Amino acid sequence: MSQATATETTDEGVIESVSGPVVTATDLAARMNDVVYVGNEGLMGEVIEIEGDITTIQVYEETSDVAPGEPVENTGEPLSVDLGPGMLDSIYDGVQRPLDVLEEKMGAFLDRGVDAPGIDLERTWEFNPEIEVGDEVAPGDVVGIVPETESIDHKVLVPPGYEGGEAVAVEDGAFAVDETVVELDTGEEIAMRQEWPVREPRPTVEKETPTTPLISGQRILDGLFPIAKGGTAAIPGPFGSGKTVTQHQLAKWADADIVVYVGCGERGNEMTEVIEDFPELEDPKTGKPLMSRTCLIANTSNMPVAARESCVYTGITIAEYYRDMGYDVALMADSTSRWAEAMREISSRLEEMPGEEGYPAYLAARLSEFYERAGKFQNLNGSEGSISAIGAVSPPGGDFSEPVTQNTLRIVKCFWALDADLAERRHFPSINWNESYSLYTDQLDPWWRENVVEEYPEVRQWAVDVLDEESELQEIVQLVGKDALPDDQQLTLEVARYIREGWLQQNAFHDVDTYCEPEKTYQMLTAIQHFNDETAEALEAGVPVEEIVDIEAASKLNRMNTQEAYEQYIDDLKSEITEQLQELY
């Protein structure tokens, strides 16, 4: 966390009142969003309102025992993060304090007022220059490479706010992050460490239209509702419907270069699971530990509410920094509802006019500001990078009409609606295929055609049509029963059942089924389509529907997902289906 020290404070005020995380002070010369230290213990806070001589501060720590009359010191700097080598394979709280470092100092429970830099200022890194003396550099240019982890090369950039110029000194070797590695003729010195205000987006040249899917290995997402690299998605669902597990799967398997996982107000046991699981997971792309390309921000429900409000900004700023290097970043925010609740609590403490359900009137604007920082961008140095933002939403009682879900829906282009009924039936991922949608489908179709198979969009559309028809038929079935339907419609229900149970259902805890590559996703669906076509021919030939659906090969459609050698299995299965049906007529 980059903060000014007490010796750099610009002014000092006095606490007037304390209301939970909201503190008011007088006689404090400050600007909006300045970081301040509150009380005798020096609790960190941020200026959120200035009215006359009264300055309102949100404090990022528990404020019990803080009393009026205690001092408030202003740093004169906005809430910022430390950016540089060492962020990957790290676990931070909402204001980028390294939890593993602080745990070594004081154990599992942190004392108030403690602090530590976001990256280790003493550790040395091997700096390998990419430029020579005499080269001209501009803001955003890569001046050197640091092997940050086994998987990721950290690119040292000219900070966006610099003027740039000709390199007059270029170092090579091991340096601490604050040491100068490149000096310019303008007098500017470049180190491996940067600072950036979390509420200010990092600059880019242009925001582009994303045309490449973020492959997740989850059949219902890649198959029916794909998200683009640089896209935005929401996963709303009630308690126990699988939001967190779905985000875990995306974090583990999505083909992004960097993963930033923000646990925003979630239960401690869920974040514990992430923290315990991720170091043991092997990255399928490199064979290295998954944590070597992951940054975790853990701000659990028992942590101060104000830090929860800032943690999503900390996460997106870290994501933007790696995007500037030309990497594809996947940002998981779990959950934005807890973030919105933190805003609601602080807003009520400020006695602001409430909006719908007590949320602040600026809820939609804050959500938009967050999701709009995602996208595919052309960076200052000419490279391309992306941030895919995937936010979980926890509507009370699964009510999708509540304000956070509705305002999120207006912004994101992927909607993965989790269904409590599906979860109760143990159908996971419990994404409701009738309510979910993706607005990226058309712009991603050329990629599927070129990189998987030409017929991919057509086969997907066939599956969508079958599921839509099943939904309509289920209304009739509930009234008159399945046996009252014509034979062809009974077959449609059977085919739809195999799509649901054999294709859409996926076991996140099965060694083989946890990840399904796009080719396998397509091949499995073609096997069910083959079953559909062959059974239709058998029905035309006069074979009773009861005999058609009872063939032995049909049950194997539900076992395709667990086959490692799936290509041979599916080829053999198609042949068996054809042979067994032809024997009936």
Q: Is 570 helix (H, G, I), strand (E, B) or coil?
A: helix
Q: pLDDT 10s per residue in the chain (585 long)?
A: 444 433 343 478 999 999 988 999 999 999 999 999 999 999 999 999 999 899 999 998 888 889 999 999 999 999 999 999 999 988 898 889 888 877 777 766 666 767 788 899 999 999 999 999 999 999 999 999 999 998 899 999 999 989 999 999 999 999 999 999 999 999 999 999 999 999 999 999 999 999 999 999 999 999 999 999 999 999 998 888 888 889 888 988 999 999 999 988 777 677 777 777 777 777 777 777 788 889 999 887 777 777 788 899 999 999 999 999 999 999 999 889 989 998 998 898 888 899 999 999 999 999 999 999 999 999 999 999 999 999 999 998 888 999 999 999 999 999 999 999 999 999 999 999 999 999 999 999 999 999 999 999 999 999 999 999 999 999 889 888 888 899 999 999 999 999 999 999 999 989 999 999 999 999 999 999 999 999 999 999 999 999 999 999 999 999 999 999 999 999 999 999 999 999 988
Superfamily of domain 206-440: P-loop containing nucleotide triphosphate hydrolases (3.40.50.300)
Q: Which amino acid is at 489?
A: Q
Contacts of 286 (CB under 8 A, 6+ apart): 150, 151, 292, 293
Strand partners, 147: 153
Q: What is the pLDDT of residue 121?
A: 92
Measured CA to CA, the distance from residue 447 to residue 209 in angstroms comes to 13
> Looking at domain 122-192, does it have CATH number 3.30.70.20?
no
Compute the distance between CA of residue 196 and CA of residue 328 in angstroms, rounded to an integer: 20
Please give the Cα distance from 538 to 545 (Å, whole number). 9
DSSP type of residue 397:
G
173 token code pair: 């070797």
Specify whether domain 456-582 bears CATH 1.10.1140.10: yes
Angle, to 10 degrees, between the axis of helix 456-480 and the axis of helix 441-451? 120
| Domain layout of the chain by residue ranges | 6-78, 122-192, 206-440, 456-582
What DSSP state is assigned to residue 8? G
Task: Report which of 277, 293, 386 is spatially closest to residue 87, judged by C-alpha positions.
Answer: 293
pLDDT of residue 9: 38
Task: Look at residue 61 in the predicted model and tell me its pLDDT.
Answer: 86
CATH fold for domain 6-78: Elongation Factor Tu (Ef-tu); domain 3 (2.40.30)
Strand order in the sheet with 173-176: 153-157, 142-147, 124-129, 173-176
Please name every residue paired with 234 in a beta bridge, in sequence order, or none if there are none. 391, 415
Residues 6+ apart with CB under 8 A from 117: 1, 2, 82, 98
In what helix (H) or strand (E) does residue 537 lie, and over which residues does it extend?
helix 518-540
Partnered with residue 43 across adjacent β-strands are 38
Contact 198, 314 (CB under 8 A): yes
Q: Across-strand partners of 74?
A: 11, 36
| Contact (CB, 8 A) for 127 and 146 | yes
Question: What kind and span of H or E run contains 252?
Answer: helix 243-253
Sign of the Cα pseudo-torsion (227, 230, 236, 242, in order): positive
Q: How far is CA 306 from CA 19, 59, 95, 176, in A?
A: 12, 6, 10, 32
- pLDDT of amino acid 560: 96
Among candidate residues 301, 294, 227, the one with its CA nearest the CA of residue 263: 301
